[in-house]
Amino acid sequence: MPAPTEPARRPRGALVAVRVVVPVVFALSLWYLFTNVIRFGYIVSTSMEPTLLVGDYYIVRLHAYTAQRPPQRGDVIVFVAADGDPYVKRVIGLSGERFLVFGGSVWLDGRWLPEPYLKERPGLAPPVAVTVPAGSVYVMGDNRNFSADSRDAGPVPLEQIMGRVIRIVWPSDRMRVMEPIAYSP
């Protein structure tokens, strides 16, 4: 009867790589992802209803905008306000644009801006002419009658924008990707 052969042994270095290096690389990758690429947020007000409801958790893509890819009309953004708190609002006006706001409705380029995401028809208020300064955006909540936004605090400088909301992740029945709004010219 032939002598049994010994099983091949792995080199000790491979075992160290599997047990130590791989978990460390994985942990560092997660740390980088959650500190430099995305963040989670939580909705605490009704100002973005019906798009985002109180209690919704969302993911923000940090540094989503560059000089070559600035915020677009319809993007839902997170920005840091003067009080240091993060706010979630929708981009309505872009750098250098001029338009009128009637209550919460927007008259832009000779027509009403189509806004299918609004919770309800905005209340009546005198028209206000808006010119968005260079390097800023004009933001409003989707629940216009109950939103503190650029109508109150003025345009948001681009450097205050943390990123763009890309997905609702909780509750599970509301999980979805936040698709950009396509406005026709």
| CA dihedral of residues 162, 167, 168, 170 (deg, nearest 10) | -100
User: What does the DSSP 8-state code read for residue 121?
Assistant: P
- Ramachandran category for residue 112: left, alpha or beta (phi over 0 → left; psi -120 to 50 → alpha): beta
Residue with tokens 């099983």: 7
Residue 93 to residue 84: CA distance in whole angstroms: 23
Residue 83 to residue 39: CA distance in whole angstroms: 20
Catalytic center residues: 47, 89
Residue 29: both structure tokens together: 């990758």
